[in-house]
Structure formats: structure tokens, C-alpha cells
Amino acid sequence: MSAAVAPDRPQYLESARLDDLARMVTELTSELWILKDRNMILEKILENSGVLTSSAVDEYQPDATLSASLLDERRALAERIFGAILPSDDRVARALEH
């Protein structure tokens, strides 16, 4: 079953669903770039201020607590992104589990 094309949205791919997915990927890419750009600027400001060296972030080794927290956050992000393609009932059930 294909979703209907919104009257104000042109269809470029084989289906409205594919167009929606393409829009989602484009929006995620835009948001990712904004975060990456701001992070690079923040690192440069910190380097110029003498707070850290240019390699400090790349060389940083998190302790066990932070490593576990980062892993939990990575898993949660992956579940939210890839879980978005699950039926809404499954998403609701998964959200209530946490």
C-alpha cells in the first residue's frame, strides 16, 4: 500500500514512501552537518584558548563509566532511528520499555 502524495509535495521516486524516506535522510544529513560544524568550531575555539590541543579529542580515552554511557546512548539512538520504520504499535511498546 503506497501513501498518497501530499498535494504540496512533488513525487520524485517510485513512491511517496520513498520520497518521505529521502526527505528524512536529507533532513538527518542536514542536522548532522550542523552538529559537526558546531563541534569543529567549538574544538577550534578551545584549542585557540589553550584549553585543549588539536589532537586531544581524537586521543581521549573515556573511562569505563563514560564508555558505558556512550554505548547506551549509541544504542538508544540506533533504536530510535532504525525503529522508526517499525509499525507505530511496536515503537510505542519499545518506548514504554525504557
Tell me, yes or no, whether 2 lies in a domain.
Answer: no
CA geometry: angle 78, 39, 55, nearest 5 deg: 105
* pLDDT score of 31: 93
Tell me, yes or no, whether 1 lies in a domain.
Answer: no
Tell me, yes or no, whether 30 lies in a domain.
Answer: yes
Same domain? 15 vs 46: yes
* pLDDT score of 1: 43
* pLDDT score of 2: 47
* pLDDT score of 98: 61
Domain that holds residue 72: 61-98
Cβ contact 11:5 at 8 Å: yes
Same domain? 30 vs 54: yes
Tell me, yes or no, whether 75 lies in a domain.
Answer: yes
Tell me, yes or no, whether 6 lies in a domain.
Answer: no
Same domain? 26 vs 66: no
Q: What is the pLDDT along the chain (98 residues), one digit of tens a residue?
A: 445 555 677 777 888 888 888 888 899 999 999 999 999 999 999 999 999 998 999 999 999 999 999 999 998 888 887 777 766 666 666 666 76
* pLDDT score of 19: 85
